[in-house]
Every structure is written in structure tokens, then in C-alpha cells.
Amino acid sequence: MDITGQSGLTLIDWLIVVTYASSTIGLGYYFSRRQRSTSEYFVGSGAMNPLLVGISLFATLLSTISYLSMPGETIAKGPVATVANLCSYPIAFLVVSGLFLHLYMRQRVTSAYELLEERLGLGIRLLGSVLFITMRLVWMSLLVYIAAKAMTTMLGVGDEWIPLVVLVTGFVSVIYTSLGGLGAVVITDFLQFTLLFGGAWLVIGLVTYELGGFSWFPTTWQPTWDAQPLFSFDPRMRVTVLGTILSASLWQICTAGGDQVSVQRFMATRDARAAKKAYLTQMGAGTLVAFTLVLVGFALLGYFQQRPDELAGLSLTTDGDRIFPRFVAFHLPPGVTGLVVSAMFAAAMSSIDSGVNSITAVIMTDFLDRFGLKPKTEKGHVRSAQILALTVGAIVVVGSTFIGQVPGNFTAMTQRTTNLLVTPIFGLFFFAMFVPFARAAGVIVGTIYGVTTAVLVAFSGSFYEVIAAGTGLDTTAISFQWISPAALGANLCAGLVACRFMKPEDSRQQILLKMAVCLIPLLALAGLILGYPWIDNAPAP
């Protein structure tokens, strides 16, 4: 394969990408020489700059998924999903800063799930840890798959190259993360944010220059976009404004209130005031970049509408996720392409590094340290954390090979995978902090309801196809924007009822019997979710 011709990337572009990757590994090595304890490795000794922490938190949660899915969604489906998402930021900030940060910052912990043990016992702490590890492994597998998918588009090669690209991306990320710990993660996240933001504006600037102005900005609803109303009573409507605001607000709140990636960043700051400043920085950066990525989608849509012959067989309706990476590889000047490609990999690595570091912190703290399996010396403890980080990275690389089986564009794939466990994890913290009569068995019942509901809604289309095979009935899936609201509602309602049903004096046999009774309505709930399309077989709007 000719890397200077067929792919659209010139030698100078490849040099920029390689230089960037090498620099991040060097930075990780630099921080590794300064590590003296696992506290420094996982939370930077709790005195990091809140602005850097906020940028790091934003860069972690944005990732290549958002960097590619926001423009792709805007091009093929419309801007509602991204624009309405911005409305969730002030809602999430008020809730998180007002309810959670002060509670969390009173206790300096390495793993967020340490907070669960004091109130609900060791079993709930371990449940939270397992759910988090599972969620982040799936999330990282998804983002490296999306990054690799974009790279194959830029290289002009087939999907058979995805495993190799995944291996390279994962290798670089895991190496500097395992060496440098959270200090290296936060610094490289800031550099990656700069590249990501600058790359997006380079694309906007070039399209504006090529078209001689802002004719690319849409003034009417485009023919490639879906119907995206304010609200719809049909849960199969893919995107609505109010549905998106609700779903996005819950995701922001649940992620900040129960995800180790977020809580670990808050713990890296000095106090609650600094943590609030870090979270405000994350919200501000998120607003700025989301707005920018919508403009990228507008710019690319307008460009290819005026120059459809340059699409090379791609469709603005069905290939929205592939438009951005193709433009980067084949339409940017040499050197600029290398910077934007580096930005894409930067977005992927900023999420991998944080995910690996957070999972390592949870495994070390909640399992090895908790059960007295840690090395005897602090140096050995740090070395074990580094080896564990490498192992986690290897699992992610292998797991990414299965992500291609999830249906939908990048936005739908993200919602159908990463949203499955976000609200159930948050539910554990909700019961621990705000429900005085919470019982571990009742919380477990609520978690089962939440996870089951999320899976049923997320993959309802696949279930419907099996149920309705050969009947001619409609098999349209429930929209992914209802995953979080439905899962959280089922989790909290079932958990509250179960906790009231349980008594402190119950024997083990009574608890098991009551748990079984509480789980019986789950069958009715599953039937309600799966039975919706049988009520009205008309196609969804």
C-alpha cells in the first residue's frame, strides 16, 4: 500500500502522527520516573490544577466517538441530537455540584466504590466495581473500533485492517498510561484537547475558503435529515428534542455521580471548590467543542452538496460517519492532514488512557488491596498497577473485534453499549447516599431491573425481529434515547419497593424468598417493553 498516494496521507502527515505518538510515550516515561506511590499514580496526590483536571475529564468523555459521531449525526440525521445535548449541561452542573461533589470530597478515596461499602456492605461495593469495569471495557472497545474504522476510511483500505489499527492505537495509549499514571493522562489529555479542537476549526476554515464564504451554513431543514420533533408519544421516534435533553441530562448526572473516571478526577483536586471548578471547566469545554463539531457537520454537508462528485460513492444519508475522515484524508493540505489525524487518535487515546487508569485503580483498590493481596513494598505496588494497566489494554484490543456486531451509526452504537450500565451504577450511589432504609438485597433487585430494562430497550429491534419473524409485523426498535430514562426509572422504583419489603431482622432464607418475589414483575416489565410493537403495527414516523 502506497502511504503517500492511495491513502491521501503524505510522508509529512505520517511523520507528524508518529512524532505525536512517540512524544506521548516519552511523556509517560518522564512521569514514571517521578512516581513514588500509588496515590501519585492514581490521583496525582490530590492537588492537581482544577482547570487541567476539567479539560482532562472532558477529553476523556468526549473521545473519538463524539469527535466522529457528532459531525456524522449532523450530516445524515440532523443537528437536534447534538444541539439538544447542550441543554443538558446546566441541568447536570446544578445537580452534580449541588448534591454530589460535597459528599464525595469529604472522603478522600482512590476508588469511588469504597463509598458504597460503609453504607451497603462489601457486596454492593464489589457489585459497583464489577459493573464499572464491564462498562468501561465495552466503552474502550467501542472507541478504539470507531477510531480504527475511521482510519481505514482515511487509508482507503477495507475493514480487514481494523485489528492492526486497533493494536497500534491501543499499544501507544496503554504504554504511556501504564508508565505515567494519572499525571501523564491529565497532561496528554490537555494536549489532545488542543489538537482535537484545532483540527475541527481547520476543517471549518478550509471549507469556508474553498466555497468562498459561508454558503455551507444551512438555512432550511435539509433533505437528508430525519424528522426530529419537539416530542413524540411514539417511543420508536429516533430523536426528539425533549427526549434527547432528558437522556443526555441523566447520562451527565449518572456519569459524574457514579463513574470512577469522573470521581477519580474530582479526587485529584484539592477540595470541593476545586472539584466544582473542574466540573464547570468540563461543561464549558463540552459546550464549545460540541458547537464546533455541529459546525463541522454543517460545513461538510454543504461542501459535498455543492461538490457531490467528490463523495467517491459515499452517501450523505447512510455514510455520515465516514464523511469526516474521508475529507480529512483526501481534501486537507499535507501536514494539516497529519495534525487532524493526530487529533482523531488523540481523542481515542485520551479515553483509553483514562479508562485503563481508572479500571486499574478499581481493581487494585477494591479487589487486591481490599483482600490483602497487594505487594509488600510501595514500589512493587506501583509496578503491579503498571502491569495490570497493560493487561486491561490487551483485553480492550481483543474486545474491539466484537463491537462491529452492534447495529446503527456511531451515535446509536454508543447509546446501545455504553448506556447499558451507566444508570444502574449510579443507582447504587443513589441508594447509598439518599435512601436511609436501603437494604443491600433490595438494591441488588433494583440493579437487576435497571440492567434488564436497559438491555431490552437498547436491543429491542433485534428482539422484535426474532419474535415477529415470518409474521409481517413491524419490528422497529424503541429509540436509544429512552435507554437511560427507562433503566433508571425501573431501577429506582423496583429498588425502593424491594428495600421497603425487606426487614433488618429477615433471615437469609426470607431475604432470598423476598428477592424472588420482587423479581416476578420483571417478566411483566419485559413483556411490556417487547410487546409495544404488537399494539400498533404502523411504521414509526
Class of domain 11-404: mainly alpha
- Comparing 397 with 125, the larger pLDDT belongs to 125
Q: In the structure, what pLDDT confidence band is assigned to residue 537 with cuts at 50, 70 and 90?
A: very low
Distance CA(122)–CA(50), nearest Å, equals 32
pLDDT over threshold 60, residue 473:
no
Lowest mean pLDDT among 20-24, 240-244, 256-260: 20-24
Q: How far apart are CA 274 and CA 267, in angstroms?
A: 10
What SS3 class is residue 84?
A: helix
Least confident of 44-53, 120-129, 194-203, 421-430: 44-53
Q: Are 283 and 96 in contact (CB under 8 A)?
A: no
Q: Is the pLDDT at 383 greater than 50, yes or no?
A: yes
Longest dimension (CA), the chain: 77
State yes or no: pLDDT of 529 exceeds 60. Answer: yes
Q: Between 385 and 359, whose confidence is greater?
A: 359
* Residue 151 confidence (pLDDT): 75
Average pLDDT over residues 132-148: 83
Higher per-residue pLDDT: 30 or 52: 52
pLDDT higher than 60, residue 104? yes
Residue with the bigger pLDDT between 365 and 346: it is 365
CA distances from residue 115 to 99, 163, 267, 271, 491 in whole angstroms, order as listed = 15, 38, 13, 17, 20
Share of the chain above pLDDT 70, in %: 75
Is residue 533 predicted with pLDDT exceeding 60?
A: no
Give the least confident one: 49-63, 66-80, 445-459, 505-519: 49-63
Inform me whether the pLDDT recorded for 35 exceeds 70: no
Query: With contact defined as beta carbons under 8 Å apart, do 92 and 283 qualify?
Result: yes
Mean pLDDT for 262-266 is 79
Which single residue is written with the C-alpha cell 435497571?
Answer: 450
**What digits encode the pLDDT tens for the residues 478-495?**
888 899 999 999 999 999
Residue with cell 424468598: 513
Residues 216-230: what's their mean pLDDT? Answer: 89
> Residue 361: pLDDT above 60?
yes
Tell me the residue length of the chain. 541
CB contact set of 329 (below 8 Å; sequence gap of 6+)? 7, 8, 9, 153, 154, 155, 156, 337, 341
Cα radius of gyration rounded to whole Å, the chain: 23
Alpha carbon distance 90, 276 (integer Å): 13
Question: What value does the mean pLDDT take over residues 499-514?
Answer: 90
pLDDT value at residue 2: 37
Cell of 420: 447499558
- Residue 416: per-residue pLDDT: 81
Q: What are the boundaries of each domain within the chain?
A: 11-404, 435-541
For 309-339, give the secondary structure using H, E and C.
HHHCCCCCCCCHHHHHHHHHHHHCCCCHHHH
Residues 6+ apart with CB under 8 A from 322: 72, 150, 153, 314
Grid cell in block for residue 327: 475529507
Closest to 265 (Cα-Cα) out of 23, 26, 61: 61
Per-residue confidence band for 37, with pLDDT thresholds at 50, 70 and 90:
very low
pLDDT score of 148 more than 70: yes
Q: What is the mean pLDDT of residues 381-397?
A: 72
What is the four-CA torsion angle of 409, 236, 241, 326, rounded to 10 degrees?
Answer: 10
Core vs surface per residue 303-321: b (16+ CB within 10 A) or e: bbbeeeeebeebebeebbb
pTM (2 d.p.) = 0.80
What integer pLDDT is reported at residue 477 of this predicted model?
Answer: 75
Amino acid at 66: S
Say yes or no to pLDDT of 180 above 60. no
Say what the pLDDT of residue 474 is: 42
**Quick one: average pLDDT of 487-510?**
93
**What value does the mean pLDDT of the chain take?**
79
Confidence (pLDDT) at 167: 74
pLDDT given for residue 3 in this prediction = 36
Q: Which three cell numbers stand for residue 60?
A: 476523556
Q: CB–CB of 227/240 below 8 Å? A: no
Least confident segment among 135-139, 361-365, 499-503: 361-365
- Please check the confidence at residue 362 and state whether its pLDDT lies above 60: yes
